[in-house]
Structure 1
Amino acid sequence: MNTPAKRALILFGAFASGKYPGFIHYLRNHDYAVLALDMRTPVADAQQAIRRSQPEHVLGAIEAYRYLKPDDRGLALAAIDEWRERFDIRGVYTIREDFVELSQVVADYLELPSPGWRASTVCRDKSLQRHYLSTWSPAFHVRSPGDIESFDALAFPYVVKPARRSGSSGVVVVRDHDGLRRALPDYADDEILLQEKYIDGAEFSVESLVQGGAILFSCVAEKRTNHSHEGGDYFVEMAHTVPAQNLSDDMRARLLEINKDILTRLDFRDGIAHAEFKFDREANPFLMEIAARNPGDGLLQLYQLAFGAPIERALMQIVLGEPASYGELLKRVARQVYLDSPAGRLQSVEYAGDGPAPYFFRDTFSKPELPATQPEDPPSLREFMIEKSRGEQLSEVKQSSDRLGCFFIDAPSGALLDELEASIREAITAKIDTTHASQDE
């Protein structure tokens, strides 16, 4: 008698699961094998060593893997064909932005749930987003770095951003011709750029769970960037709050309605969408960008703290073709706060307040499990994660990977959350040798 093949899910970017463990927790608890497709990097190799030596680690649930690049379609399908002989593949998902299009190819090949061709293709390219979603976009032009004269068509200040990067990489406000000349060498000669009207105002995101083309859940989150907070030239996210606190009910409703129209335009079918918006000073909303995958940073954890249940559970149910629901009861207000830090060499981070001590993520590539929150819980620090290594060189924060670390907090109200954030900041000491501020690694 033949033994039934084990159910499995193909997880692109799986070696990021140490930072986003909720996906594998759900799959492991429901007896799914995890089949990993990811890019080979020194960090991925280090995580492989952990996977082999620590089966209890979240990465230990990976039963098979292949290294490949986002454009290796043939290699991906060859791996899939091999795995289909041993596993009953029920779902496909990507954690990483780089694999959005390839995961769509694989899902279509296997006839499994996915965001859909239009959604995956448009969401992967910011220039396509501007054309397909021009109704909700700021004024823009598509440029190349070598065509400097063409940038004069839009008045200063404006924003320049690469069409296919993520994590705020290469996104900069240009205030004059000197600023443009300083910015352009940071882009490849053949890199497609967006030149956009600068929108000065508050920033928000909308996370949406979609199944069968219908929105099951949407929520507005609030963000704080080093541009809005410090007035610099970059737009790196330095805090997220779920749900957003500093917007009116009317503005919230407008964002959710616009987000619904955008998902309809994209013919978004199954998965999660992460859309980013800004309101200008006249309260007009503009789409900044949209992704056909889960949000980065710690937003997934914030939804768990705010709603009392992991959003990854519902997302995995969607991509596995199972009935899904989420967000029936809002319990808390949750926030992730990134640490400000000067340039220099990191020595240590100390915390003298109540709650968990800072830990260095790269020591174990694992995160503590978050509790099931209750409305009556006191304001709480839940996690304090340092993303850089001891002795690592810190630089000016120009993109997400430059950030030192963060902490996660939640409270019954926004006012209590603000008080908790302030008290935690006062109790943090980051020891950084600034004599190395201008030295390379």
Structure 2
Amino acid sequence: MLVEVIVFKFGGSVLDSDEHIKKAAERVKEAYSRGIGVVVVVSALRGVTDSLISTARKANPNITPEMLDEVISMGERTSARLFAAALKGVGLDAIVVDPDSSYWPIITDSNHLDANPLYDETKQLVEKRLKPLIDSGKIPVVCGFIGKTLDGKITTLGRGGSDTTAVLLGSALKAKEVVLVKDVGKVFSSDPDKVSDAVPLSALDSEEALALSLGGAKFLHHKALSYKAEKVPICIASLDSEDKGTVIDGESLLNVDIDAQPDPITMITVVGNINGSHKAIGELLDTVYSAGGRVISMGSEPKSIVLYVVNGAKVLGKIHSWVVSTGFGKAVSSYDNLVMITVKAPAMETSPGMVQRVTQPLARNGINVYGLVTAGSSIRVFISMADREKSLALLRDALMVTSRKEVS
């Protein structure tokens, strides 16, 4: 039985010639020769998916998403067979795993053209169908980008779907690592096409990678990161180098977390014709910190700025004096004894209705939300400290969170 498993994903921009396909096969053979189990995920060859979409829509401008999924899935099916042939050519026992195979593990919802994998169902099938193949020494070549609903209909996972497939399988297998082989084998500090002094990054944690992806970086789609498991690093690598490129590691992004800030918070509102220069806002924050306060969140509008401050009661007077004396604003008000509850979930900002799922259970139970701030994949709500435990219970129930996580 092979103890460790590596998941390799080869994109269409990498498998763009017979030379590169052979080189990718040798990369797999080298890992396998070290006694490591290997799963390979492949994308369609470069340009094939776009060509299939274009042809299908010309043939039928009203083609249904369900039918289009059937058509564009053919790109990955072809790639899987080509790559399996290349692996056999270097002496490896490769087996094609596509949706028609009895070994197929990827189960999704029915959101055609942008389906979401169902993790628990997929994990069960990975353990039942894919793991025995790996343990027997075979190398599954899995079609990336494709899923299958519980009732057997073909789906596709949307942009970056093959990366999602690879990360999902790596998590389900508790892999040693997931290696995403791309034409650019590193993540950079910014887009090199836009910034002249961009530098390659050797490492990112899960949240940093998610924030970059959500901010428009193209190295990995955020949906893929949402299936990353703890202790399963993702390596962004190139075909031309044995270097691991950029390693993404850190905590799992699979679950919803609810954190309760333990310290009482004061919501301080400054109103007036805010003189909102960067320098003035910096001086306001300096006033808070020099008086012993700590800003944990903030928000602004044209005629007000709101600070959420630990130790706010003791700094309120200093803030008021500074605001009035500098003309930054006209008046200051405050609410004491609030608590911040943070709800974090993968790809929350692309999930419709998440703010309502957080706020509605509170409103229905008479709990006032004094403030709400969204940032990345988190929602922060500020409520009375007296409602803390009740709110946590309501949110855990509404979001189906069973474990409790407190910020210390």
TM range (shorter): under 0.3
Q: TM-score, normalised by structure 2?
A: 0.28
Larger Rg: 2
Q: How high is the TM-score relative to the length of structure 1?
A: 0.26
